[in-house]
Amino acid sequence: MHTSELKPLMNTLAPMKVIGAHLEEASYEVCVQEIHWTEPGAVNLLSGRHCLIELAEAPAIGRARYTVQTNGGRERPVGMLNFMPPESARSVRWNPGRRHAVVCVMDPKRLGLLGAIDWHWNEVDPDCTLDVQNEKLRTGMQWLAEETTMPSFASGLQVSCILTMMAIELHRHCASGKEAQSTPQGRLSERQLSLLKELIEGATDTEGPSLAEMAAACQLPARELSTLFKRTAGQTLRSYVASTHIARAKVLLDDGDLLIKQVAYGSGFRSAAAFGDAFRRATGLTPLQYRQSRGVVCRESGFTH
């Protein structure tokens, strides 16, 4: 069994494949191809700095199939959508027959702004790269095939944009697979906690995100979200939202040009009175006393402490 790097392998397979369409730039190569293996074979594959994404047709009689041996030594059949990360190695075996697929080889770090991203591909679990169940990636590969087969206005730019989105989605997919394994049962994941934090802190509506909106973002029933959040964070979701509003209020109170009622609305309260009561319960001070303790020039009172 010989060893080959991913990019050169695309060229060595040329005598065995018929290319229906082909598009190549410095950072990627996309092929719509029909491979005909007349004999069984095998190869040790090294991805190098490139990654490979393949969308094949559904299995059928007379069609070639192949298996992959991952770093853990397990041999697994591939699915319709498969991925090989950069800086990884695999042993591939195939049986005779034909295989129709859309194949993309790309270097994510050379795709425009993606070069600045720290990818951490070495942490990817091989199990989440074979028989990938991700409709966004499947749609992206179908879109690539269409642009490659029937190029139109600015197809090169279109393909580059599609690949950029796919590279990000691939990393998210792999991270979510790792996250599902690392998150303790009965707890929210780091990603879910981050989503909640972004929703709550980024809300512009005075009432903030609803429980239903937060539950939908975490893909959980509302009741389960409340239970898991308390178990994970050690406080109720309502108290966390309230403490976030108070933290935002403290920042706004440092701006002496804002009226107390403006701070109230800007930090998620319906009225200055409700804000004053909540702030005093949380800090032991009224909003005005807090400003005075911070030495803020108060627009409303007209004096400085």
Q: How high is the pLDDT of residue 15?
A: 46
Instruction: Looking at the structure, tell me whether residues 151 and 196 fall in a common domain.
Output: no
Number of compact structural domains in the chain: 2
User: Count of residues for the chain?
Assistant: 305
Number of CB atoms found within 10 A of residue 47's CB: 20
Q: What is the pLDDT of residues 53-99, one digit of tens each?
A: 999 887 666 677 788 876 666 777 788 899 988 888 888 888 888 88
Query: What CATH code is carried by the domain that includes residue 263?
Result: 1.10.10.60
DSSP 301: T
Instruction: Looking at the structure, tell me whether residues 165 and 26 fall in a common domain.
Output: yes
Instruction: Looking at the structure, tell me whether residues 53 and 143 fall in a common domain.
Output: yes
Instruction: Looking at the structure, tell me whether residues 171 and 257 fall in a common domain.
Output: no
Q: How far apart are CA 251 and CA 268, in angstroms?
A: 13
pTM of the model: 0.55
Instruction: Looking at the structure, tell me whether residues 276 and 173 fall in a common domain.
Output: no
Which residue among 155, 182, 209 closes a domain?
182
Residue 166 belongs to domain spanning: 2-182
Contacts of 158 (CB under 8 A, 6+ apart): 147
Instruction: Looking at the structure, tell me whether residues 172 and 198 fall in a common domain.
Output: no
Query: What CATH code is carried by the domain that includes residue 32?
Result: 2.60.120.10
Which residue among 134, 155, 182 closes a domain?
182
Instruction: Looking at the structure, tell me whether residues 57 and 199 fall in a common domain.
Output: no
- Asked, for residue 301, whether it belongs to a domain, the answer is no
Q: Is it the case that residue 236 has pLDDT exceeding 60?
A: yes
Q: How high is the pLDDT of residue 184?
A: 61
Instruction: Looking at the structure, tell me whether residues 59 and 133 fall in a common domain.
Output: yes
Of 96, 116, 92, 130, nearest to 168 by C-alpha is: 116
- Asked, for residue 67, whether it belongs to a domain, the answer is yes
- Asked, for residue 41, whether it belongs to a domain, the answer is yes
Instruction: Looking at the structure, tell me whether residues 136 and 271 fall in a common domain.
Output: no
- Asked, for residue 304, whether it belongs to a domain, the answer is no
- Asked, for residue 70, whether it belongs to a domain, the answer is yes
Q: How high is the pLDDT of residue 285?
A: 93
Q: Are 50 and 105 in contact (CB under 8 A)?
A: yes
- Asked, for residue 265, whether it belongs to a domain, the answer is yes
Which residue among 158, 182, 206 closes a domain?
182
Output the CA–CA distances (angstroms, integers) from residue 158 to 64, 106, 144, 165, in the order listed: 31, 15, 9, 11
- Asked, for residue 303, whether it belongs to a domain, the answer is no
Q: What is the pLDDT of residues 130-182, one digit of tens each?
A: 888 888 999 999 999 999 999 888 888 899 899 989 988 887 877 765 544 44
Instruction: Looking at the structure, tell me whether residues 168 and 115 fall in a common domain.
Output: yes
Instruction: Looking at the structure, tell me whether residues 89 and 208 fall in a common domain.
Output: no
Q: What is the pLDDT of residues 23-58, one digit of tens each?
A: 888 889 998 888 888 888 888 888 888 889 999 887
- Asked, for residue 59, whether it belongs to a domain, the answer is yes
